[in-house]
Amino acid sequence: MSAPQYLHGAVLSGEFATSWRLEHGAPLDLGPHLLDLLDAAVGPHTTVRGTGDARRWFELTREHENGAVTQASLSCAVKAPEALTHVNASASTTR
């Protein structure tokens, strides 16, 4: 299973390259949207940890109430013709 990704080039140029995006980067811009997608796909989380450069590339690790662990990549500085969103959720249970 590949890690969820939410990538775009909003801070590179154009009308979306606003001062708050340049200052705070992907976690505050894209983070809430990706967290909502992961909650819907995997379930509510109990813990969130992040690492990286918020203005370039940021990684989130979440522990969910059901015991699942997800990792996700966020960036507002990827040169792409359009925003890229990828969430692949599959679950298996062993008892």
Beta bridge partners of 57: 53
* 95 vs 19: which has the higher pLDDT: 19
pLDDT of residue 89: 56
pLDDT at residue 9 is higher than 60: yes
- The token pair at 48 is 């969130």
CA separation for the pair 76, 14 (Å, rounded): 12
- The token pair at 75 is 């960036």
Per-residue pLDDT reduced to its tens digit, 14-69: 887 888 888 888 888 888 888 888 888 889 999 999 999 988 899 999 999 999 99
- Which residue, among 70, 72, 65, has the nearest Cα to 90 in the 3D structure? 70
Model-level pTM?
Answer: 0.72
